[in-house]
Chain A
Amino acid sequence: DAGVIQSPRHEVTEMGQEVTLRCKPISGHNSLFWYRQTMMRGLELLIYFNNNVPIDDSGMPEDRFSAKMPNASFSTLKIQPSEPRDSAVYFCASSLLARGAGEKLFFGSGTQLSVL
């Protein structure tokens, strides 16, 4: 099993540019989560999909952030326009069951985003 695959591993961009992060969940998993890790707030949930449908996007910080899951094997997180305060590590995670509550999540290796 390849696990959750995220790309790119590192992204350096300039303020105002569009950034797209990609994620391939574990085959057969039906829930997908996007998290952001910062020193101050730890791991924060941005958005959660179940069966490709966004269920909870209350963690998406601003309208500049958007996420899609066009099919069961692919998701994107887009930031447009990007700002320096968006610099963080972004993790994608997947799980098998419908509810994330209490379930073990399988995380990708993350994307280190730096916005200059």
Chain B
Amino acid sequence: DQQVKQNSPSLSVQEGRISILNCDYTNSMFDYFLWYKKYPAEGPTFLISISSIKDKNEDGRFTVFLNKSAKHLSLHIVPSQPGDSAVYFCAASAHTGANNLFFGTGTRLTVIP
């Protein structure tokens, strides 16, 4: 049973516009969330993270928002660039529990020049 869900398998956005990728989770014990980015033929690479004590974390063009009551997080990319075209994985973990990250199925973002 998927504890981390990314319900949109793909997303297309025009260059310069905002990209919003969504992620939902079911396990209330999760308290740390990460986004990974994956290019074809490469492994996922860490992008940005957020602890459950925060509701927002920003790093340059990337911002992650966390809504604990809704068990929902989102990744905003603004402005979107063609180089952002990749698969984005949402991941979650529980510091007090599991020793691993639970990943979603990924969202393929295509930024159209």
Interface of B, secondary structure class, is loop
Q: Are A101 and B94 in contact (CB under 8 A)?
A: yes
Q: Are B103 and A42 in contact (CB under 8 A)?
A: yes
Tally of B interface residues using CB under 8 Å: 29
Q: Which residues of B contact A48 (CB under 8 A)?
A: 99-100
Q: Are B93 and A102 in contact (CB under 8 A)?
A: yes
Q: Which residues of B contact A4 (CB under 8 A)?
A: 43
Does residue A2 face the partner (Cβ distance < 8 Å to B)? no
- Which chain A residues (68-116) contact chain B, with CB distance < 8 Å? 91, 93, 99-102, 104-110
Q: Are B44 and A91 in contact (CB under 8 A)?
A: yes
Q: Which residues of A contact B103 (CB under 8 A)?
A: 35, 42-44
Q: Which residues of B contact A55 (CB under 8 A)?
A: 99
Q: Report the interface size class on chain A.
A: 20 to 34
What's the Cα separation between A67 and B100 when bound, in Å? Answer: 17
Q: Are B100 and A42 in contact (CB under 8 A)?
A: no
Does residue A45 face the partner (Cβ distance < 8 Å to B)? yes
What's the Cα separation between A59 and B39 when bound, in Å? Answer: 25
B62 to chain A, nearest CB (A): 15
Q: Are B43 and A101 in contact (CB under 8 A)?
A: no
Q: Are B2 and A45 in contact (CB under 8 A)?
A: no
Given the interface pairs A39-B105, A41-B105, A42-B105, the reply to whether A101 lies near B97 with Cβ below 8 Å is: yes
Chain B residues engaging chain A, CB cutoff 8 angstroms: 2, 4, 6, 31-32, 34, 36, 41-46, 49, 89, 91, 93-95, 97-106
29 cross-chain CB contacts under 8 A: A35-B103, A40-B105, A41-B2, A42-B2, A42-B4, A42-B106, A43-B91, A43-B103, A45-B100, A56-B99, A99-B95, A101-B32, A101-B93, A101-B97, A101-B101, A102-B32, A102-B34, A102-B95, A104-B34, A104-B49, A105-B46, A107-B36, A107-B43, A107-B44, A108-B43, A109-B41, A109-B42, A110-B41, A110-B42
Pairs A-B, 6 closest by C-beta atoms? A107-B43, A42-B105, A43-B103, A102-B32, A101-B93, A104-B46
